[in-house]
Chain A
Amino acid sequence: EVQVVESGGGLVQPGGSLRLSCAGSGFTFSDHYMDWVRQAPGKGLEWVGRIRNKADSYTIEYAASVKGRFTISRDDSKNSLYLQINSLKTEDTAVYYCVRDIYWGQGTLVTVSS
């Protein structure tokens, strides 16, 4: 069974940093592109970014709204995907989802507040 499980969310002060993780199981993690998507409270879905697989040179793409503050990485040896978020802003408050194609995790909540 394909599963992706996010972790690492929590309450952070503005200007702080956070690293989210996503553990994949039930599939060959290294074969797949992986995405991060977020959803602010009561709002729609926002694509954050994507990291391709080794075959496609681990190319990374970001939404314009997060470029420069967000860094996506992966460790295929650990079947894991990461999202490093720096200089957190209140508007980054959202549930962050890890996505593999049609498979979504349950999300991890990031709250940015003083």
Chain B
Amino acid sequence: QAVVTQEPSLTVSPGGTVTLTCGSSTGAVTSGHYSYWFQQKPGQAPRALIYDTGNKSPWTPARFSASLLGGKAALTLSGAQPEDEAEYYCLLSYSATRVFGGGTKLTVL
């Protein structure tokens, strides 16, 4: 089974910019992986921020954007806010399965 890799933790300053990445053990991540990005805060259900590589959910703040970058899926947060401190997960689709990354704990400090 494919392994999906994320940075375990990242720190960003308030107002700063940070990019989270999502790689696949099978090779480059492409639009065919229909990548999703989720945000989860403690005690809450995950919330989808991005679907199908770069499309935003209706509730996704404008400061979040996503793309493919250097063979990985990437989530960029521009102008970080304290409320963006959370765990972020990516999800990739393969031919007969879907696999989550291990998550990135984002600290806004």
Contacts and interface: CB of A to CB of B under 8 A. Distances in A.
Interface residues of B, number: 21
A102 interface: yes
Contacts of A104: 45-48
Contacts of A45: 38, 40, 46, 89, 91, 100, 103
B89 A50 contact: no
Interface of B: 1, 36, 38, 40, 45-48, 51, 57, 87, 89, 91, 96-103
Contact of B100 (A44, A62, A101): A44
Interface of A: 35, 37, 44-47, 50, 61-64, 97, 101-107
Nearest to B6: A44
Nearest to B101: A44
B45 A44 contact: no
11 contacts: A37-B46, A44-B101, A45-B40, A46-B100, A47-B98, A97-B46, A102-B48, A103-B48, A104-B47, A105-B45, A107-B45
